[in-house]
Chains A and B, each alone.
Chain A
Amino acid sequence: MDLSLSPVSGLRSPVCGDRYNPIVSPGRSVDVLYTPESIEALVYERDLADPGQFPYTRGIHPNGYRAKLWTMRQFAGFGTPEQTNQRYRRLLDAGGTGLSVAFDLPTLMGRDPDHPLSRGEVGKCGVSVASLADMETLFDGIDLGTITTSMTINAPAPMLLAMYLVLAEQRGTDWGTLSGTIQNDILKEFIAQKEFIYPPEPSMRLVTDVFAFCASHVPRWNTISVSGYHIREAGATAAQELAFTLRNGVEYVEHARAAGLDVDSFAPRMSFFFNSHSDFFEEIAKFRAARRIWARVMRERFRAASPRSWQLRFHAQTAGVSLTAQQPYNNVVRTALQAMAAVLGGTQSLHTNALDEALALPTEAAATLALRTQQVIAHETGVVDVVDPLGGSYFLEKLTNDLEEEAMAYFEAIDGMGGMIAAIERGYPQREIAESAYRFQRAVEANEQIIVGVNDFVSGEGAVVGTLYIDESAGERQLARLDEARRRRDGARVRKTLDSLQECAREGINLMPALLEAVRAYATVGEMCDGLREVWGEYVEDPII
């Protein structure tokens, strides 16, 4: 009996097809079986091609993970630079292969630890870095020439990048050898995470200043990580994450070109960051669709000539929002499955969440187990041996097509509004995401969406995990460190560099050289950001519910 290829299109699974499934994008149902008919129009050379070939649906490297495993990059940061430095060293000792800095909220918002708005927030959600002195401690004993570092920072991205560059300079490490990523993605801040400072236009200028500066001075640095992660965490569906992220990418390319940059001078250094969520096949399809859309957009819309401009490289993180405070050990399983989806989707780098992250920042034991999860996938399961092993699956290819189609419909809508900044100003992506978040929550409450241990299978609760508690002492130590750094520097020199920063902002001169000078003088993040606040003002969001 042949069970493999009977076309039964239209037959729906009684379990999945007719059930409202809020994780799958609204409007798309899932059939019980997929057959060659599902992907009749697919042309291998045009739509898939071998890995390493345009449009890169199957991956950007011909040999996939045989050539190089993904980078196991665990996002970490808490308390003082000393505490975080210790965590980094332990992660590297445990086999981590890259660093990823989580900054605290004051740093993310360009406020020094002694600002009134920083009260109670210093070192709580990440590490506090106020000046070059903190950066020196953060990377103490870590060779910047061999490690790759990702820094999750957006509105003050150029300031923190300048600190990293000056640190390298102090240690005699050539900028040409530095490798890593600065998130530098302000559009998704306006859309989802909301850690913005300045209005959109000057914010975009900061982004493109980094593009231009790195193209000539830090050639191996990824100048942006266009991020869908936060958009998804805010409640977007997979299709919305895909669409808004890639459309943000388009907006950056347009702004950089308007600033006079040649597309092939900066596009190869653009990187992406996606969520790896719970709907297994949809996530794999999303990563594949992302590569195909980006390749086509770069070649056809922007006429990029370099294949490296066409290739979408991405980092993935498992879905923080899927973690539950109830039965926290279930999170290990969720994270493993989500990580597997990211690997099958061909991620270049991966963060796996720790089991206790619905409760607090992870303990060292929990963070280590999260890293071990990646190592098990890489070294025990065999999934790394074959490139795009699910390519050709009727279901996966159909999903890839569907997601591309849904994303392109959003592209059209946003283009019609005059671009992403215009769409953000009218609240369009924000509203779409809020709608999806509310729909999901209602589905959970109605038990249409089961979350194990939360709205079903709740018996046997009581597993308690010890969590990391960050008390006020980190904040107090940071205040003392800040005082010390201010005492030791030459105040007149700091003032001069800040004046020059403001002048460059007014004159439209690339801000990176002025920021490097300010950092060398030990100007703080808050001082540099305030200097630009005075010139550009601050962005205030219209609250939408």
Chain B
Amino acid sequence: MSTKIRVVIAKPGLDGHDRGAKVIARALRDAGMEVIYTGLRQTPEQIVAAALQEDADVVGLSILSGAHMHICPRVTELLREQGLTDVLVVVGGIIPDADIPRLNEIGIRGIFQPGTPMQEIVDFISRHARSRVAI
């Protein structure tokens, strides 16, 4: 089995602006990670099912629509229910500063606002993703 970090990139909610999700997906792949892009309009249930099925180390959510305070808590809650407590959850998009403390509280560890360099996201994930032991 590969030791590559496995990342599920998901685009929840009704928004279809996927430029950011796709650019980050490519950057992570170019950095040597295994990237699964779920496509558009995934419900929290579908995202967590994908994380489970893909044995993901990381779930990355791209949200630009302002619906993050609805979507993020649901995703982390469902991950907990599935016992996926060691999966790193990060979110990128238009996230107001005011919402960051609450997102941290519910277990979102990386929050990337507009203008964040791709490399910073790659480094963060490399540093914080659960370690994977080769078999």
Residue numbers of A with Cβ under 8 A of B are: 105-106, 108-109, 111, 117-121, 124-125, 189, 193-196, 233-235, 321, 324-326, 358-360, 434, 437-438, 441-442, 444-445, 454-455, 467, 469-470, 541-545
Contact = CB atoms under 8 A, between A and B. Distances in A.
Nearest to A115: B14
A120 B70 contact: yes
A360 B17 contact: no
A325 B27 CA distance: 21
B19 to A, nearest CB: 5
Contact of B66 (A193, A470, A543): A470
Contacts of B65: 105, 121, 124-125
A541 B22 contact: no
A119 B41 CA distance: 13
A545 B70 CA distance: 26
Contacts of A541: 39-40
A541 B71 CA distance: 22
A324 B94 CA distance: 11
Contacts of B98: 469
Contacts of B94: 358-360
Contacts of B39: 541-543
A467 B96 contact: yes
By DSSP majority rule, is chain B's interface helix, strand, loop, or mixed? mixed
B25 interface: yes
16 contacts: A119-B70, A121-B66, A193-B16, A196-B16, A358-B94, A360-B94, A434-B23, A434-B26, A438-B22, A438-B26, A441-B118, A445-B117, A541-B39, A543-B40, A545-B22, A545-B25
A324 B114 CA distance: 7
Contact of A121 (B14, B16, B18, B117): B14
A469 to B, nearest CB: 7
Nearest to B21: A545
B115 A543 contact: no
Given A125-B66, A360-B94, A545-B29, A106 B14 contact: yes
Most buried by A among B27, B40, B115: B115
Most buried by B among A111, A125, A325, A544: A125
Contacts, number: 103
Contacts of A234: 17-19
Given A105-B65, A325-B115, A117 B14 contact: yes
A215 to B, nearest CB: 30
A165 B16 CA distance: 28
Given A125-B15, A234-B18, 11 more contacts: A105-B65, A121-B67, A124-B67, A125-B66, A193-B17, A194-B40, A324-B114, A359-B96, A359-B114, A434-B23, A454-B115
A543 B19 contact: no
B104 interface: no
Interface string B3-35: 000000000011111110011011101000001
By DSSP majority rule, is chain A's interface helix, strand, loop, or mixed? loop
A326 B23 contact: no
Nearest to A126: B65
Contacts of A118: 14
B38 interface: yes
A545 B114 CA distance: 20
Contacts of A233: 17, 19
Contacts of B96: 359-360, 467, 469
Given A105-B65, A120-B69, A441-B118, A325 B16 contact: no
Contacts of A545: 22, 25-26, 29, 35, 37
Most buried by A among B16, B37, B71, B119: B16
B106 to A, nearest CB: 14
B82 interface: no
Interface string B94-120: 101010000000000000011101110
Contacts of A111: 14
Nearest to B13: A121
A117 B41 contact: yes
